[in-house]
Amino acid sequence: MNRHYELPLDEAAYSFGFLDEFAKREIRRTILKAISIPGYQTPYASREMPMGRGFGTGGLQLTLALIGANDTLKVIDQGSDDSVNAVNLRHFVELTCPQVDTTERTSEATLIQSRHRIPEHPLSEQQILVLQVPYPDPLVVVEPSEARRKVMHGEGDYSRLLTKLYEDIVQFDEITISHRYPTRINGHYVIDPSPIPRYDVPQLHQSKALVLLGAGREKKIYAVPPYTNAAPLVFDDVPFRIEDFREASGARRACDRCGACDSFLDEMIADDGSKSWQCSDSDYCNEQLAVNASPAEVKA
């Protein structure tokens, strides 16, 4: 092989936001089309990023195309800012977007990138939520061919998906889909809302904030615009149920750390085998802890 060339000297001559302007513009065009066709999986070229496919490259590309010096970014994974994936992504943005602020407080963020949860705190019109998506297409369980799925989506033909849900009911007396619950947007496209729990699906409905969903490996961007209907698929006689955090007595469990009874809880097993429950949303937990603290504790 040719010996007469040098290694590149420019180690970090990246543009703001890592992606080149060409890539950003393509993502931006795709975002606007995605908003114009709510729930439609809009294809885009999806660049390789320095973290693996499956680690949030789709969400990250959205964030990098959106973010500017005036933004404050929050990154969470499983609801927590301290989860390794969130730490890694946040660090990457801090490296490549020098003037951007980052935060753990949902209320302070203008941009929130999240894996598998929607923050407990309802968002405002000044905020944008970016969700990381592994599987954009809810029809993939009934049809492996993308070409055929596109026709089904275009025609709004979800009969095979509904049949699959119904088969669940016949067998188990329940719809057994736990997360990634198929949800119809604006009365037409059914989306996979990403692996958020059913608990979070109602937050998509008539949200004040724009919700963008990015699948890097599958190369799709889709959107749930603000003030748009988002209806989980149900049958007349089988309602949509969120996760049940009730104890055997029927009382709703509370977070062992902050006492909140209205948040999605993480179940943890201690060394001695005992179970404890804690808010999945770490910022919400911190907030409730501050609210529920006694006046003496607050002063100290």
Partner 1 sequence: MSEPRRIFTVDHAPSTLQAWQAPTQQAAFRQLLDAFSYPGRRVELNTEEDALVLVLATLLDGGVTLADPQGLVSADDQRRLGVMTVNPEQAQYVVMSGDHVPDFQPVLGTLESPEQGATLILKVDSLGGDDCLRLSGPGIEIETALSVSGIDPAWWALRSSWNGAFPLGIDLILVAGNQVVALPRTTRIQGAD
Partner 2 sequence: MGYVAIKGGGRAIRGAEAALEALRTAEGEAGTPLTLDAIENQLRLLTSRVVSEGGLYHPRLAALAIKQMQGDTLEAAFALRAYRSTKPRLLEAPLQNTGQMRLIRRISSAFKDIPGGQMLGPTSDYALRLMRLDLADESPEAFRKVSSQFMAGVSDSELPDTFPKVVDALRSEGLLPPLSLHHQHAFDITRDPLVFPVPRSAALATMARAETGSLLAIAYSNMRGYGDVHPTIAELRVGYLPVMLPHPVTGEPIEAGEVLVTECEVVAMYESGEQDGPTHFTLGYGACFGHNEVKAIAMAILDRALQKGMRDGPSNPSEDPEFVLLHVDGVDSMGFASHYKMPHYVTFQSDMDRLRTTQAKATEQQGVQA
Contacts with partner 1 by CB under 8 A lie at 15-16, 21-22, 24-26, 28-38, 40, 42-43, 65-70, 125, 128, 147, 150-151, 153-155, 186, 188-189, 210, 225-228
CB of 296 to partner 2, least distance (A): 26
CB of 128 to partner 1, least distance (A): 8
Q: What is the rounded radius of gyration, in angstroms, for the C-alpha atoms of the chain?
A: 21
What residues does 206 pair with on adjacent strands? none
Told to judge if 250 belongs to the known catalytic residues of this protein, a careful annotator would answer no
One of 39, 56, 214, 216 is an active-site residue; which one? 39
| Sequence-ordered strand ranges (E) for the chain | 42-43, 72-77, 101-102, 111-115, 128-132, 183-185, 189-191, 210-215, 220-224, 230-232, 265-269, 275-279
Told to judge if 187 belongs to the known catalytic residues of this protein, a careful annotator would answer no
Residue 162 touches which of partner 2, partner 1, none (CB < 5 to 8 A by kind)?
none
CB of 24 to partner 1, least distance (A): 8
Told to judge if 97 belongs to the known catalytic residues of this protein, a careful annotator would answer no
Distance of CA 130 to the CA centre of its chain: 6
Instruction: Note the helical H segments in 182-222.
Output: none
Question: What is the length of the chain?
Answer: 300
Helices 57-66, 21-36: axis angle to 10 degrees equals 100
Residue 38 touches which of partner 1, partner 2, none (CB < 5 to 8 A by kind)?
partner 1
One of 17, 79, 214, 255 is an active-site residue; which one? 255
CB of 65 to partner 1, least distance (A): 8
CA dist list (Å): 294 to 254, 286, 289: 18, 14, 10
The two tokens of residue 173 are 């007396």
Nearer to partner 1, 44 or 284 (CB): 44
Helices 84-96, 57-66: axis angle to 10 degrees equals 30
| Residue 249 CB coordination number (10 Å) | 5
**266 exposed, middle or buried (CB, 10 Å; 0-12, 13-18, 19+)?**
middle
Q: What are phi and psi of 224, to 5 degrees?
A: -115, 105
Residue 66 touches which of partner 2, partner 1, none (CB < 5 to 8 A by kind)?
partner 1
Nearer to partner 1, 31 or 285 (CB): 31
CB of 153 to partner 1, least distance (A): 8
Residue 285 touches which of partner 1, partner 2, none (CB < 5 to 8 A by kind)?
none
Nearer to partner 2, 184 or 220 (CB): 220
Nearer to partner 1, 161 or 255 (CB): 161
Residue 290 touches which of partner 1, partner 2, none (CB < 5 to 8 A by kind)?
none
Nearer to partner 2, 80 or 228 (CB): 80
One of 17, 214, 216, 285 is an active-site residue; which one? 285
What residues are labeled active site? 39, 255, 258, 279, 285
